[in-house]
């Protein structure tokens, strides 16, 4: 530990915290529940970011429920993990929301799924639907992964609910719901409701249907755009917890594929942004260039998406001379074509006119909400896991982290444009330095009761996986995707903006939404309600 971290841990100790375990990049600290708010405030005021919190049913091992608050000390490259024991007979804990605004969603999720109540804050259901029965908590161990509790009809809810059939349908992946309250054409408030198709992936991973080796395929299906990020983050967490060594060549291959994935994701978003700005020529050309990256991904892995090459201990596919040559030629061609397109697009006056000064997220708001990725970097927060917590082969490469201070839609667009060029340079460096040797370690054991936090810089920002090992499969696997962290910031970004700028502002965080989401607009003066359409590619 650095002296700064040691001093911080000492201050936590004065508040009642006790260090349980210290590793190179993680410190586990037991904190009494009555002290958790004070400790959280200390960490936040010291510059730490709340990454996520995870509720765990550890009654079978310790006799308690546990809540893990994961704070990132980014400037030190260390995660401080606070563990709070919550007794079964009194499942109540003080909320840290008054001190750490970014804790809002993860606290409500713990309340919904584990049944731990929160004092000192307003509570509501976040994940579970209103017709879910009271007293049934999916993340408690006695709840079976395939259990279907009976629906409860409440007085305040109609017994029959109309389902719109059409482009916006409950069967679509990831439908989202926004209510925009407007005065004339000005947005004055925003209400968001998500989790309509919560898939219970974390619970499924605890079931007998899955083993450690099978979960990478499940993890890769968390997101249709950056699935390789999730499978990489999962295997890194397991490898870190169990102390499994990964061949250096495998780390380079993972890093190369991660940057290929970043390229196609950013190009996808930039095309969508061009479309939302009325520049459809830019949309078509961006996706034409992106197709070269998709072809490369299939050539390297065998699939355009859901690559399936990550395994605990390494990767299943190597890079031969032909793949290396194809990669270098493709990224060179992509760079040349994208440079011409970016120069042309950014010279269109209407694009800057629509993006400058809209959807502003200030640095202080970004800090309070712990936003990640291009959203953070566009608001002046220097946050990039590849730099702050170097992992895989990122320790060996040199690259620049684009940073803007305006916090508007143009800044978020420019961050992604510059990151396309940086990813190309990273890939070229990785290819040049690609070491020899094997690509997988197959001899290993995964003891139960080990803990680890892993983070990977996804195109949308920091992806976090927290693992507690069990017998044959994780005892607990917590996933916090980047969009989960960034959506709450939309309220700050949308308030005060023009209704016409709402679609671009919502899209500017690059959310994992379905292709034809709707926004409900409510005029607060006339109570007139209308819908506008959001377009999302995938």
For 183, other C-beta atoms within 10 Å of its C-beta total 13
Task: Assess whether 376 and 280 both reside in one domain.
Answer: yes
Residue 133 resides in a domain: no
Per-residue pLDDT at 164: 34
Residue 195 resides in a domain: no
Task: Assess whether 334 and 428 both reside in one domain.
Answer: yes
Q: Give the pTM.
A: 0.91
Domain range for 67 is: 3-119
Rounded CA separation 125/134 (Å): 11
Residue 399 resides in a domain: yes
Q: Judge whether 365 and 379 are in contact, CB under 8 Å.
A: yes
CATH number of residue 360's parent domain: 1.10.645.10
Tell which of 99, 119, 139 closes a domain. Answer: 119
Task: Assess whether 209 and 95 both reside in one domain.
Answer: no
Task: Assess whether 115 and 227 both reside in one domain.
Answer: no
Q: What is the DSSP string of 375-388?
A: HHHHTT----HHHH
Q: What is the dihedral of CA 7, 11, 13, 18, to 10 degrees?
A: -60
Q: Judge whether 69 and 50 are in contact, CB under 8 Å.
A: yes
Tell which of 56, 87, 119 closes a domain. Answer: 119
Task: Assess whether 294 and 417 both reside in one domain.
Answer: yes
Instruction: Domain count for the chain, please give it.
Output: 2
Residue 440 DSSP label: B
Q: What is the DSSP string of 342-381?
A: HHHHTT-HHHHHHHTTSS---HHHHHHHT--HHHHHHTT-
Per-residue pLDDT at 514: 37
Measured CA distances, 289 to 279, 429, 510 (Å): 16, 21, 19
Task: Assess whether 222 and 351 both reside in one domain.
Answer: yes
Residue 496 resides in a domain: no
Q: Where are the alpha helices (DSSP H) in 98-247?
A: 104-114, 201-205, 215-219, 227-242
For 160, other C-beta atoms within 10 Å of its C-beta total 7
378: Cβ contacts below 8 Å, ≥ 6 apart: 361, 404, 406, 407, 408, 411, 412, 414, 415
In a 10 Å sphere around its CB, with 0-12 CB exposed, 13-18 middle and 19+ buried, how is residue 185 labelled?
A: exposed
Residue 377 resides in a domain: yes
Residue 233 resides in a domain: yes
Q: Judge whether 363 and 381 are in contact, CB under 8 Å.
A: yes
Tell which of 119, 146, 175 closes a domain. Answer: 119
CATH number of residue 99's parent domain: 3.30.460.80
Measure CA 231 to chain center: 13
Residue 524 resides in a domain: no
Side-chain half-sphere exposure of 38, counting CA atoms within 13 A:
12
* Average pLDDT per block of 10 residues along the chain, 538 residues long: 89 95 93 97 97 97 97 95 97 97 96 97 90 93 91 61 33 60 86 75 90 94 90 98 97 98 96 91 96 97 94 97 97 98 93 93 97 98 96 97 97 98 98 97 95 97 97 96 92 91 90 48 60 46
Q: Which of 460, 494, 456, 454 is nearest to 377 (CA)?
A: 460
237 forms beta bridges with none
Residue 208 resides in a domain: yes
262's tokens: 């970043």
Length of the chain: 538
Per-residue pLDDT at 180: 81
């Amino acid at each position: 530990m650095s002296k700064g971290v040691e001093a911080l841990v000492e201050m936590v100790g004065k508040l009642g915290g006790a260090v349980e375990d210290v590793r190179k990049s993680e410190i586990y600290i037991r904190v009494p529940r009555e002290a958790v708010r004070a400790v959280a405030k200390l960490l936040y005021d010291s510059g730490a970011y709340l990454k996520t919190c995870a509720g765990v049913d550890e009654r079978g091992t310790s006799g308690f429920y546990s809540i893990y608050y994961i704070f990132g000390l980014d400037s030190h490259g260390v995660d401080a993990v606070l563990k709070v024991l919550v007794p079964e007979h009194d499942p109540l804990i003080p909320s840290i929301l008054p001190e750490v605004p970014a804790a809002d969603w993860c606290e409500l999720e713990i309340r919904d799924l584990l049944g731990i109540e929160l004092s000192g804050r307003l509570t509501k259901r976040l994940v579970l639907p209103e017709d879910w029965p009271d007293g049934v908590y999916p993340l408690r161990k006695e709840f079976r992964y395939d259990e279907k509790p009976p629906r409860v009809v409440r007085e305040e809810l109609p017994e029959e609910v109309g389902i719109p059939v059409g482009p916006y349908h409950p069967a679509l992946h990831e439908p989202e719901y926004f209510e925009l309250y407007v005065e004339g054409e000005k947005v004055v408030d925003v209400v968001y409701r998500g989790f309509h198709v919560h898939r219970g992936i974390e619970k499924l991973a605890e079931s007998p249907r899955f083993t450690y080796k099978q979960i990478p395929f499940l993890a890769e299906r968390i997101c249709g755009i950056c699935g390789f990020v999730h499978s990489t983050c999962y295997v890194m967490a397991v490898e870190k917890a169990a102390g499994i060594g990964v061949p250096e060549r495998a780390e380079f291959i993972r890093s190369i594929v991660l940057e290929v994935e970043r390229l196609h994701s950013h190009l996808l978003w930039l095309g969508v942004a061009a479309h939302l700005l009325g520049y459809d020529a830019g949309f078509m050309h961006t996706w034409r260039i992106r197709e070269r990256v998709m072809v490369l991904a299939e050539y390297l892995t065998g699939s355009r998406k859901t690559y399936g090459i990550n395994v605990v201990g390494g990767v299943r596919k190597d890079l031969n001379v032909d793949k290396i040559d194809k990669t270098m030629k493709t990224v060179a061609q992509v760079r040349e074509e994208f440079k011409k397109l970016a120069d042309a697009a950014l010279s269109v006056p209407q694009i800057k006119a629509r993006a400058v000064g809209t959807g502003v997220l200030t640095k202080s708001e970004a800090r309070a909400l712990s936003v990640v990725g291009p959203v953070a970097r566009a608001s002046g927060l220097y946050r990039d896991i590849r730099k702050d917590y170097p992992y895989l082969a990122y320790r060996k490469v040199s690259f620049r982290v684009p940073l803007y201070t305006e916090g508007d839609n143009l800044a978020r667009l420019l961050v992604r444009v510059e990151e396309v060029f940086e990813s190309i340079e990273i890939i070229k460096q990785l290819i040049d330095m690609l070491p020899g040797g094997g690509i997988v370690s197959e001899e290993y054991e995964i003891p139960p009761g080990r803990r680890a936090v892993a983070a990977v810089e996804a195109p949308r920002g920091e992806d976090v996986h927290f693992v507690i090992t069990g017998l044959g499969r994780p005892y607990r696997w917590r996933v916090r995707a980047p969009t989960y962290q960034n959506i709450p910031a939309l309220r700050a970004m949308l308030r005060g903006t023009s209704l016409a700028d709402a679609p671009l502002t919502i899209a500017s965080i690059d959310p994992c939404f379905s292709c034809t989401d709707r926004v409900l607009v409510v005029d607060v003066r006339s109570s007139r309600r209308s819908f506008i359409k959001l377009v999302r590619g995938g």
